[in-house]
């Protein structure tokens, strides 16, 4: 037989493109158009419907950046269309083919009922089959944000020129047979192209398509489409073999809670998407749609109650499925321990309260790497499974598994799946399905994978075309078997079929997007401060409440927690959103800090009582300056610890407090850091600490996200100073001594205070940067004379160890690492802790030591200045606090981390207060003290083992207790507990719930705070 394959395939392509698809809508009439440009921010729907519309026309420009235009479309279905399916076709002039990144619209009936979203891939709305038609579209002129630099990301700089032009507004007949033919051909041709050239199935499909085109009359497709479908039916009926890979397709829309649009636009994006999905479900009863991020459902509830009602109906029918169990799809590198726990407790509680649904799958397809603390938190939240696909984005190493057990730092394992389709926005195309099968690493041992399908980011989720593909690939030879299922059904089946799974231990590090630990420094600082203020506000409020002094501020704390949790979304805290988002985040964090400060202060004053003594409150889990952990005492006059001194010598300024002796030279660099207790020099020979370094920082792909390894090839040391001077004692706390260093370079200035305090074995560094650089990475280096194989970095509820060397490609790829409050490097018998109050990015490297051996350099990442998506990222003033603690082991590093982030707070009052909660093992840390979320007045205490060892401790509560139980993160009892001798395994998190006894002499009931 002659090989005519290319000719036949070309014929098929052209006929589909130029004849079949246009014939789906064979008859059209134009709609009349009117419009109203909304001044300023979006208005409520009723206002938009009742606005003073003006005549408009197809071809008219509309939409200043971030503006909203309301359109009204009216027309009459021609009488001769009677009995045929009718649709409106509206093309807002989206400007590109990818949904979610340009203009979007939501269609309303005249009574304000939302019908469906309009997107670049969704122009059609079903209409009544006869009579007059009328509908409105709320059209959002969201600009297309593309690099390398755009000013469109903030209305303040975006200008007012219209971005879009109305392209089409018609009523049309939908020829459903031609539409079905188009879908048959789409699926078969797509499958054919995935099959090997020598497969008979490929040729069988090609010949069937050829026969279908032969019977199709190109001048009357409507009359011949059914005959053409008959030619295709036999090849569509060939069934998949029993061992075909099984794909569980889950309808989804990955909606970034803010990114290239502000939070307020996400509120509309989720409403459009949910409206779209529930309306699609009316026509397609097989659709199951999973929606993650409780916050997004809370927005629909608050802003679009009519859409929420429809969602609730579909949830009750188990078709609209809440998934994920988190408040948002958070970043998991940077949120603190308690905050990550609250992502789960707030997320899961919302789904339980609103829908009675206990989510069991944690759904984080897109976050930028996954903390090794997650497995324990997932299980403690009552969830069982974990999903992401993001590690397929790693640029160096290929992750070995798609289905495996993931083991966290405490040893907890969680069943984990990486969809091998490598996307969370699948269209269920033949190419994607084939890739999922070919890519699946568990072949021969497991047979199932999950495919999330649907347009995200306001693209409306699944489409009828995707559902049509799913119907045809349900059991089709050559294709994996595709069924639409819930994530729960997938996980249960996948777990059951694969009992002897491989195990991956430790973090899931994304070898990409390493700049997100540093970009948008103010957003990071706001998060860190808010997390610690929440600790203060909760502890002191709970303490005051159980003593009957104040009501517990449940509503305020819930609202403030949820605000902080929202901003941990994976494009806000990582710094990868437009300027508008980060400007608003800064304002929000300032408000949060003010409110939390006031809540904590009110509680401290209530606890201290009226009086004029200075009472110092210590929120830290460790004693500070004689004030017990979690307690308050009258501030004492300074004790007889040696005061720090500053003297000038030949080598520079010498700071000395009897524990450390620090030499700062004329360059402002630390040339000596002598640990006098250990009699050991800490700075690497021939090197100097406190060295600020600049690197060019223009990554290849994603500016705000990435720092590429080659940045290190070029460095500029900032080793000249404008001023290096002793700070006058009057400017400092009593007994402290400090050096001020000022450097100007290029367009920027760094001003630092290097401080020693009495009795503290740490050098504190306060750095102010007035930053006006572009595409430049600023690091602060401490070369240390320790030979460290590994560095330890604090993460949530513990720490991870990472190699300091670059033996393997996996080690080398971790050239930038994320740490919370501290990093520790050491050798047996001696180590150094490096603590910080606002930064997350670090790098640790080894150098050859003059005279033999190796030294270790730790660098803090302070600032970057990427220009996309925010062209002005990080410009202006920043303040950082860091500390170097020589002679620290890991337990000391844990203490240094808290010390750098929590301060004693002094109020005027009458009395100190004994700690509400005490533990007697220093490795067991009290992470949270609060009242129960169910508002029963119960006291909740969360503790964890912080050193990575085993511990036994007594937990004492200073108020009378009736009962105590252990609970999960949602404060649901999991078992009895004896608080006299609680044991902890390494990094174990345990939550205790105390119901309090009625105070003596009271008439019963709870001490306080209960409702």
Catalytic residues: 366
Q: Round to whole Å and give the CA distance between 682 and 786.
A: 8
In terms of DSSP bridges, do strands 716-718 and 951-953 run parallel, antiparallel, or are they unpaired? unpaired
Q: Which region, judged by CB under 5 A, interacts with Zn ion, from 231-239, 250-258, 436-444, 506-514?
A: 250-258
Least CB distance to Zn ion at residue 464 (A): 25
- Name the strands in the sheet holding 361-363, side by side, starting at the edge strand that comes first in the sequence: 361-363, 385-387, 413-417, 403-407, 503-505
User: 755: which strand partners?
Assistant: 738, 764
Omega of the bond leading into 810 within 30 degrees of 0 (cis): no
Shortest separation between residue 254's beta carbon and Zn ion, angstroms: 6
Helices and strands: H and E segment counts in the chain: 18, 54
Nearest residue to Zn ion on Cβ basis:
366
Dihedral sign computed on CA atoms, order 996, 1002, 1007, 1010:
positive
Q: Which is nearer to Zn ion, 366 or 681 (CB)?
A: 366
Determine how β-strand 448-453 pairs with β-strand 246-252. Answer: parallel
Taking the complex as a whole, the smallest distance from the CB of residue 40 to Zn ion amounts, in Å, to: 28
Beta bridge partners of 173: 86
Stretch that binds Zn ion, among 254-262, 331-339, 650-658, 825-833 (CB under 5 A): 254-262
Kindly report the CA angle at 187 between 183 and 192, in degrees rounded to 5? 145
For 569, the token pair is 């979304």
In this chain, which stretch among 133-141, 253-261, 687-695, 811-819 interacts with Zn ion, using CB under 5 A? 253-261
Stretch that binds Zn ion, among 251-259, 552-560, 614-622, 844-852 (CB under 5 A): 251-259
Task: Tell whether the torsion through CA atoms of 586, 591, 596 and 598 is positive or negative.
Answer: positive
114, 86 contact by CB (below 8 A): no
Instruction: Give me the least distance between CB of 523 and Zn ion, in Å please.
Output: 16
Identify which of residues 574 and 758 has a Cβ nearer to Zn ion in the complex: 574
**Smallest gap, in angstroms, from Cβ of residue 328 to Zn ion?**
10
| Residue 959 · residue 998 · CB < 8 Å | no
Give the separation between CA 408 and CA 404, rounded to whole angstroms. Answer: 13
Subset of 366-395 contacting Zn ion (CB under 5 A): 366
Site for Zn ion in 848-867 (CB under 5 A): none
Q: 802 forms bridges with which residues in the sheet? A: 791
Tell me which stretch binds Zn ion (CB under 5 A): 252-260, 319-327, 446-454, 721-729. 252-260
Q: How far is the CB of 484 from Zn ion (least distance, A)?
A: 23
Q: Give the count of beta carbons closer than 10 Å to the beta carbon of residue 392.
A: 17
Beta-carbon-side half-sphere exposure of residue 678 (alpha carbons within 13 Å): 16
Residue 425 or 671: the one with the smaller Cβ distance to Zn ion is 425
Other beta carbons within 10 angstroms of residue 1003's beta carbon come to 5
Which residue number, 366 or 789, has a Cβ lying nearer to Zn ion?
A: 366
**Backbone phi and psi for residue 718, each to the nearest 5 degrees, phi listed first:** -90, 85
Among residues 255 and 653, whose Cβ is nearest to Zn ion? 255
Cα-based angle 552, 555, 561 (whole degrees, multiple of 5): 100
For the chain, give the number of residues: 1011
Q: Based on the number of CB atoms within 10 Å of its own CB, is 650 exposed (0-12), middle (13-18) or buried (19 or more)?
A: exposed
- Between 366 and 489, whose beta carbon lies closer to Zn ion? 366
Residues 332-371 as x/- pattern, contact with Zn ion by CB under 5 A: ----------------------------------x-----
Q: Could you say whether residue 457 binds Zn ion (CB under 5 A)?
A: no
Work out the number of other CB atoms within 10 angstroms of the CB of residue 52.
6
Residue (of 791, 863, 778, 795) closest to 834 by Cα position:
791
Backbone phi and psi for residue 410, each to the nearest 5 degrees, phi listed first? -95, 0
Q: Is the peptide bond before 817 cis (omega within 30 degrees of 0)?
A: no
Among 154, 204, 256, 410, the residue binding Zn ion under the rule CB under 5 A is 256
Q: How far apart are CA 322 and CA 357, in angstroms?
A: 7
C-alpha 679, offset from chain centre: 45
Judged by CB, which is closer to Zn ion: 177, or 516? 516
Q: 424 vs 517, which CB is nearer to Zn ion?
A: 424
Supply the DSSP symbol for 401: -
Smaller CB separation from Zn ion, 367 or 855: 367
3-state secondary structure at position 21? coil
**Contact indicator for 759, 834 with CB cutoff of 8 Å:** no
Query: Smallest distance, Å, CB 921 to Zn ion?
Result: 41
d(CA 742, CA 769): 10
Round to whole Å and give the CA distance between 579 and 577. Answer: 7
Applying CB under 5 A, the site for Zn ion has a residue count of: 2
Q: Report the 10 Å Cβ neighbour count for 129.
A: 13
Hey, how many other C-beta atoms are within 10 angstroms of the C-beta on 513? 28
Spatial separation of the C-alpha atoms in residues 218 and 603, rounded to whole Å: 80
Q: What's the min distance (Å) between Cβ of 292 and Zn ion?
A: 11
Residue 164 CB, shortest distance to Zn ion, in Å, is 25
- In angstroms, what is the minimal distance from the CB of 272 to Zn ion? 17
Close Cβ partners of 335 (under 8 Å, ≥ 6 residues apart): 343, 527, 531, 568, 573, 796
Provide the minimum distance between the beta carbon of 103 and Zn ion in the complex, in angstroms, as a whole number: 20
Q: Considering only CA atoms, which of 455, 110, 86, 392 is closest in space to residue 256?
A: 455
What is the closest distance, in whole angstroms, from the C-beta atom of residue 488 to Zn ion in the complex?
A: 22
Alpha carbon distance, N-terminus to C-terminus of the chain = 85
Min dist. Cβ of residue 433 to Zn ion (A):
23
Cα torsion angle, 79, 81, 85, 86, sign: negative
Q: Which residues bind Zn ion (CB under 5 A)?
A: 256, 366
């Amino acid at each position: 037989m002659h090989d005519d394959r290319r000719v036949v395939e070309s014929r098929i392509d052209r006929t589909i493109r130029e004849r079949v698809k246009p014939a789906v809508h064979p008859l059209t009439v134009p709609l009349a158009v009117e419009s109203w440009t909304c001044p300023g921010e979006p208005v409520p729907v009723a206002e938009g419907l009742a606005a003073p519309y003006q005549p408009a026309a197809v071809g008219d420009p509309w939409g200043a950046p971030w503006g909203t235009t309301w359109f009204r479309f009216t027309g009459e279905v021609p009488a001769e269309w009677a009995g045929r399916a009718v649709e409106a076709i509206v093309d807002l002039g989206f400007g590109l083919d990818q949904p979610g990144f340009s203009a979007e619209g939501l269609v309303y009936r005249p009574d304000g009922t939302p019908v469906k979203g309009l997107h670049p891939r969704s122009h059609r709305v079903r209409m009544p089959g006869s009579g007059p038609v009328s509908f409105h579209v709320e059209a959002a002129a969201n600009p297309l944000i593309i690099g390398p630099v755009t000013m469109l990301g903030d209305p303040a700089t975006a200008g007012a020129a219209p971005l879009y032009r109305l392209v089409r507004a018609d009523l049309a007949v939908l020829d459903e047979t031609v539409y079905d033919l188009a879908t048959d051909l789409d699926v078969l041709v797509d499958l054919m192209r995935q099959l090997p050239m020598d497969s008979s199935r490929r040729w069988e499909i090609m010949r069937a398509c050829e026969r279908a085109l032969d019977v199709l009359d190109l001048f009357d497709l409507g009359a011949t489409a059914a005959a053409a479908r008959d030619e295709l039916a036999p090849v569509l009926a060939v069934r998949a073999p029993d061992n075909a890979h099984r794909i569980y397709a889950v309808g989804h829309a990955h909606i970034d809670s803010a990114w290239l649009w502000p939070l307020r636009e996400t509120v509309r994006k989720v409403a459009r998407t949910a409206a779209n999905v529930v309306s699609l479900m009316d026509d397609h009863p097989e659709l199951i749609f999973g929606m993650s991020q409780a916050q997004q459902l809370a927005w629909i509830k608050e802003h679009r109650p009519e859409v929420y009602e429809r969602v609730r109906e579909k949830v009750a029918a188990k078709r609209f499925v809440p998934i994920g169990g988190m408040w948002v799809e958070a970043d998991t590198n940077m949120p603190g321990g308690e905050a990550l726990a609250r992502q789960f407790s707030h997320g899961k509680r919302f789904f339980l309260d609103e829908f009675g649904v206990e989510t069991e799958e944690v759904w984080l397809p897109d976050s930028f790497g996954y903390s090794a603390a997650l497995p324990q938190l997932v299980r403690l939240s009552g969830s069982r499974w974990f999903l992401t696909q993001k590690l397929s984005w790693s640029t160096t190493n290929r992750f070995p598994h798609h289905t495996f057990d993931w083991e966290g730092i405490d040893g907890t394992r969680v069943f984990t799946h990486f969809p091998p389709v490598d996307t969370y926005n699948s269209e269920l195309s033949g190419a994607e399905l084939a890739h999922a099968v070919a890519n699946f690493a568990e072949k021969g041992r497991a047979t199932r994978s999950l495919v999330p399908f649907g347009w995200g980011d306001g693209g409306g989720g699944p489409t009828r075309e995707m559902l049509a593909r799913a119907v045809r690939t349900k059991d089709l030879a050559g294709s994996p078997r595709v069924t639409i299922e819930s994530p729960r059904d997938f996980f249960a089946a996948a777990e059951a079929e694969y009992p002897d799974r491989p195990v991956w231990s430790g973090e899931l590090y994304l070898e990409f997007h390493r700049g997100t630990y540093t970009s948008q420094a103010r957003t990071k600082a706001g998060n860190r401060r808010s997390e610690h203020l929440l600790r203060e506000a909760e502890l002191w409020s709970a303490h005051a409440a159980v003593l009957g002094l104040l009501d517990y501020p449940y509503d305020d704390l819930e609202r403030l927690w949820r605000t902080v949790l929202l901003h941990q979304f994976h494009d806000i805290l990582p710094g990868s959103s437009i300027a508008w988002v980060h400007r608003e985040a800064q304002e929000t964090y300032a408000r949060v800090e003010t409110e939390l400060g006031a809540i904590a202060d009110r509680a401290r004053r209530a606890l201290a009582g009226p009086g004029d003594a200075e009472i110092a409150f210590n929120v830290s889990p460790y004693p500070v300056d004689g004030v017990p952990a979690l307690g308050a005492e009258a501030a004492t006059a300074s004790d007889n610890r040696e005061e720090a001194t500053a003297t000038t010598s030949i080598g520079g300024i010498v700071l000395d407090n009897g524990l450390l002796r620090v030499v700062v030279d004329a360059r402002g660099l630390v040339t000596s850091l002598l640990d006098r207790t250990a009699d050991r020099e800490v700075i690497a020979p021939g090197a100097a600490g406190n060295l600020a370094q600049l690197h060019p920082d223009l990554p290849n792909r994603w500016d705000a996200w990435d720092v590429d390894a080659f940045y290190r090839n070029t460095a500029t040391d900032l080793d000249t100073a404008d001023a290096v001077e002793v700070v006058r004692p009057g400017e400092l706390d009593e007994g402290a001594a400090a050096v001020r260093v000022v450097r100007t370079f290029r367009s920027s200035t760094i001003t630092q205070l290097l401080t020693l305090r009495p009795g503290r074995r740490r050098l504190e560094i306060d750095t102010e940067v007035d930053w006006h650089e572009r595409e430049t990475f600023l690091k602060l280096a401490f070369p240390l004379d320790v030979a460290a194989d590994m560095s330890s970095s604090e993460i949530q509820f513990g720490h991870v160890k990472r190699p300091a060397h670059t033996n393997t490609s996996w080690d080398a790829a971790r050239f930038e690492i994320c740490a919370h409050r501290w990093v520790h490097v050491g050798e047996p018998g001696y180590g150094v802790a490096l603590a910080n109050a606002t930064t997350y990015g670090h790098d640790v490297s080894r150098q050859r030591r003059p005279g033999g051996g190796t030294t270790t350099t730790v660098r803090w990442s302070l600032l970057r200045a990427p220009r996309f998506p925010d062209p002005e990222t990080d410009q202006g003033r920043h303040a950082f606090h860091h500390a170097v603690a020589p002679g620290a082991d890991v337990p000391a590093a844990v203490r240094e981390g808290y010390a750098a982030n929590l301060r004693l707070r002094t109020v005027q009052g009458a009395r100190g207060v004994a700690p509400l909660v005490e533990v007697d093992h220093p490795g067991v840390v009290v992470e949270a003290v609060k009242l129960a979320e169910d508002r029963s007045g119960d006291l909740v205490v969360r503790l964890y083992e912080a050193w990575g060892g085993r511990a036994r401790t007594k937990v004492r509560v200073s108020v009378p207790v009736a009962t105590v139980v252990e609970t999960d993160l949602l404060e649901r009892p999991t078992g009895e507990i004896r608080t006299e001798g609680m044991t902890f395994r390494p990094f174990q998190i345990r939550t205790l719930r105390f119901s309090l006894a009625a105070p003596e002499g009271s008439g019963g009931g709870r001490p306080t705070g209960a409702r």
